[in-house]
């Protein structure tokens, strides 16, 4: 990274991920990152002050007589002095990607500069996200969290790992059917088969939450841990899923923690912890993730174009078929009476 502030500012464009801790609002995370970037930019070497030509008075002695004359001199402009103008950088546009609520933690994607436009592209790509969700059997609350108002307490000794896995299989199967409906792809085409093989079928418009994969990572009554891959979800929706799993198992459950481990193509390995929210590390993160960002966003655009092309081909086939039928009907000779 360059030590010259304007040079560092010019390359500060792109996407990067930070790790949002639980109990912190996402706006506070974004504002903290912006504050640290501005602090580091203002601490670098700033452009030199402008030089102005001033006529400065000075005494001269001619013929044994002291006279006051004006001498041209180049001096720094006082308007560019740091104590007059303040810091050079006072605002930086930092945008937030898919948000996390206060109680959740995990990968939180941010964009700076032109990266805000990439955030829009990432939103329209409808990429999936992964969560690790912790649940607790035995009680139910009004907001599906352990801190909510207690509604009931239930037994949970009858629950087994096999019963939980069967419920998870039912949830995944029903959501896969919904995924095919929301994708808007003709399942009888070759393009649909190719996308299904690559695992690229997903809704290309805003839809209801869809769980594409769910499995149990840990089971030890009364606690259990699930890994959920989903699209268009909210963290509160995931807490409700834990609550419904408890009901299906003839018990009750609350969600104790929600942690996002992947947001699109950003993983926990890409997320910067709080001690690394500075200009140098963010520069390195943007530079390291740039090939991944370009490749995956290009894939998202290709997917959308492929879907649109398959729809256009289907419409063309239908139109050509109707025209052929019309021509055949016109060429049929009339029967004699």
140 and 185 inside one domain: yes
Determine how many CB atoms are found less than 10 A away from the CB of residue 80. 16
- Distance in angstroms between the alpha carbons of the first and the last residue of the chain: 92
The DSSP-derived string for 200-232 is: ----SS--S-EEEEEEEEEEETTEEEEEEEEES
State yes or no: pLDDT of 331 exceeds 80. no
194 and 296 inside one domain: no
CB hemisphere CA count around 246 (13 angstroms): 30
227 and 149 inside one domain: yes
165 and 71 inside one domain: no
172 and 227 inside one domain: yes
Q: Quick one: average pLDDT of 237-257?
A: 97
Q: Is residue 330 part of a domain?
A: no
Average pLDDT of the chain is 83
Domain with 70 in it: 51-83
> Residues 149-206: pLDDT tens digits?
999 999 999 999 999 999 999 998 888 776 766 666 666 677 666 666 665 566 667 7
213 and 252 inside one domain: yes
Q: Is residue 336 part of a domain?
A: no
Spot the catalytic one: 31, 40, 101, 308.
101
Whether 263 is catalytic is no
123 and 170 inside one domain: no
> Residues 4-29: pLDDT tens digits?
999 999 999 999 999 999 999 999 99
Q: Is residue 296 part of a domain?
A: yes
Q: Answer whether 0.85 is exceeded by the pTM.
A: no
Contacting residues for 335 by C-beta, under 8 A, at least 6 apart: none
> Residues 45-82: pLDDT tens digits?
888 878 877 777 776 666 666 667 777 778 777 777 77
Is 244 or 80 the better-scoring residue by pLDDT?
244
256 and 280 inside one domain: no
15 and 121 inside one domain: yes
Number of domains present in the structure of the chain? 3
Q: Using CA atoms, how far apart are residues 56 and 35, in angstroms rounded to an integer?
A: 42
Q: Using CA atoms, how far apart are residues 37 and 279, in angstroms rounded to an integer?
A: 5
């Amino acid at each position: 990274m360059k030590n010259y502030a304007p040079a560092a500012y010019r390359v500060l464009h792109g996407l990067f991920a930070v790790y949002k801790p639980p109990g912190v609002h996402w706006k506070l995370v974004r504002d903290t990152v912006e504050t640290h970037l501005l602090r580091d930019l203002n601490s670098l070497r700033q452009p030199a002050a402008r030089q102005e030509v001033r006529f400065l008075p000075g005494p001269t002695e001619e013929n044994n007589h002291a006279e006051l004359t004006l001498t041209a001199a180049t001096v720094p402009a006082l308007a560019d002095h740091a104590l007059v103008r303040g810091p050079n950088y006072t605002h930086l546009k930092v945008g937030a990607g898919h948000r996390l609520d206060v109680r959740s933690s995990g990968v939180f994607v941010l964009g700076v500069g032109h990266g805000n436009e990439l955030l829009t592209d990432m939103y329209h790509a409808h990429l999936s996200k992964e969560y690790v969700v912790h649940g607790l059997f035995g009680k139910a609350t009004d907001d599906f969290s352990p801190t909510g108002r207690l509604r009931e307490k239930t037994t949970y000794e009858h629950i087994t790992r096999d019963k939980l896995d069967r419920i998870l299989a039912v949830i995944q199967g029903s959501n896969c059917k919904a995924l095919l409906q929301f994708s808007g792809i003709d399942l009888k085409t070759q393009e649909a088969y190719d996308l299904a093989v690559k695992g690229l079928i997903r809704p290309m418009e805003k839809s209801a939450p869809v769980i594409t994969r769910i499995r149990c990572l840990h089971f030890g009554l009364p606690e259990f841990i699930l890994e959920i891959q989903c699209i268009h979800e909210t963290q509160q929706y995931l807490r409700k899923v834990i609550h419904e799993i408890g009901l299906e198992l003839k018990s009750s459950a609350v969600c104790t923690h929600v942690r996002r481990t992947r947001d699109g193509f950003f993983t926990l390995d890409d997320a910067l912890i709080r001690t690394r929210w500075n200009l140098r590390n963010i520069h390195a993160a943007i530079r390291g993730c740039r090939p991944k960002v370009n490749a995956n966003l290009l894939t998202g655009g290709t997917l959308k174009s492929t879907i649109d092309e398959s729809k256009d081909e289907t419409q063309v086939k239908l139109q050509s078929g109707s025209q052929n039928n019309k021509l055949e009907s016109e060429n049929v000779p009339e029967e004699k009476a």
